[in-house]
Structure 1
Amino acid sequence: MNLLSPRVLQALHRFNAAHPWDHNAHYHRWILRQLPKRFDRALDVGSGSGDLARLLAIRAKEVHGIDLDPAIVARARELTPPAAPVTFSVADVLTGVPAGSYDVITCVAVIHHLPFTEALTLLRRHLAPGGTLVVVGLARAETRGDQLLGAVAIPLNAAMGWFKNKGRTAQRPVSMTAHTRPADMSFPDIVREARHVLPGARLRRRLFWRYTLIWHQR
């Protein structure tokens, strides 16, 4: 179901390419609103250039960011003030999570690159009692509702790109430069698998081709 003509879609895609913005960073402040005011340890999975990890450090005593890309980890370290309680390491979440448990774990636009059930099970194991897991993920558009939400997001995406880039030369955000691949799980499949591993998890479709998952360890 296409609510916009191919000609309009092409024009919007050209505009979006000229006015890029970080869809993942759009949800960072929302993530903070799901978390306690203060907590001890946080883990940011797929930390990229470190924007979210540095935000978490405002509330946390200690933040660890992990990412598979050595270049972007190096950039994250460059951008992080020496006094900030944040460390970054090149690591695979399935094998290289820093030891210990975490009061907060965040995972933004990463889990669709991983074996979904295995990754959620591992993150659950690393979450401390009372801790909070927040995932912002990508799902494959499958249902009519998915297609409708995607169609609505296209012009809004253009408006957001114009607003964020007005008055300056548009540059592709650092955290968007890593290779990404399309999601291969539909949202209904994600909900089913997530609630099997994380009973009571709250999942919701979001704008800009994302969904969110929140789960609290008891």
Structure 2
Amino acid sequence: MTNLRHRLLQALHRFNAAHPWDHNAHYHPWILRQLPRRFGRALDVGCGSGDLARLLAVRAAEVYGIDADPEIVDRARELTPAGSSTAPVTYTVANALDGGPGGSYDVITCVAVLHHLPLSEALAGFRGQLRPGGTLVVVGLAREETLGDHLLGLASVPANLAMGWVKSRGRTVPRPVSMTAVTRPAETSFGDIVREARRELPGARLRRRLFWRYTLVWRRA
């Protein structure tokens, strides 16, 4: 069984290399649907090359993107046009636990970053930076532990193949990656994340998702 799983994962990696697509960017439209049509300050934690930050700028008054990788922050600045009709976007090289330079925020987003951080400390930090009435949206990775986790992971395989095929049709040049940092496997199970999130963020809504992701939405009273 282990050998079969290993061969399937290798085949999946080969297919993804031939038909690349961004699992995190796939959730950007979903993230926007969790947010008000207009809001003030927004912070994107682990902004990568700024794809989500630029989407937030369409609705926000100000957007701040932080990332620990200086090269990817430079790339985000290059890709973000100055003087456009959207809100200004400020990119800063910073550790996610340091918080953003703008003080407090009406919106905080965090995509595929939380599993790199001490969970309790990060969630408490987000809570402290969020203004009353503000919204925190997380798309994260969790370690597969339960039968439900493994079944959803298996269901993600054919869905991943289909999405890769559809998104790569007619594309001759691979899409630029949105981050350069090495991604490490998640060590915390979804159950543990749920328990910690509900302790730090009472009323938070969490859900397992396809493509080896989970989502968290919390609105501060």
TM-score band, normalised by shorter chain: over 0.9
Alignment root-mean-square deviation, CA: 1.7
Note the alpha carbon deviations across 1:183-216, whole angstroms, 9 max, x for none: 0000000000000000010000000000000000
SS at match of 1:174: coil
**What does residue 57 of structure 1 align with?**
57
Q: Aligned partners of 2:100, 2:171: CA distance in 1, in Å?
A: 39
Alpha-carbon deviation of 1:18?
A: 1.2
**What does residue 30 of structure 1 align with?**
30
**What does residue 212 of structure 2 align with?**
209
Q: Aligned partners of 1:106, 1:49: CA distance in 2, in Å?
A: 14
Please show how residues 8-157 of structure 1 align to structure 2 within 5 Å: 9-83=9-83, 84=86, 85-157=88-160
Alpha-carbon deviation of 1:93?
A: 1.9
SS at match of 1:177: coil
Gap regions ≥5 residues in structure 1: none
Preserved CA contact (<8 Å) 2:111 2:140: yes
Q: Aligned partners of 1:202, 1:216: CA distance in 2, in Å?
A: 9
SS at match of 2:127: helix
User: Are residues 1:165 and 2:165 paired?
Assistant: no
Moved over 2 A (4+): 4-13
Gap regions ≥5 residues in structure 2: none
CA, structure 1 residues 154+78, in 2 after alignment: closer, same or farther (shift >3 Å)? same
Query: Aligned residue pairs: how many?
Result: 217
SS at match of 2:152: helix
* Identity value in percent: 74
Q: Aligned partners of 1:142, 1:121: CA distance in 2, in Å?
A: 25
Q: Aligned partners of 2:194, 2:154: CA distance in 1, in Å?
A: 22
Q: Aligned partners of 1:215, 1:95: CA distance in 2, in Å?
A: 20
Mean CA deviation greater in 121-130 or 173-182: 173-182
Note the alpha carbon deviations across 1:22-70, whole angstroms, 9 max, x for none: 0000000000000001001000000000000000000001000000000
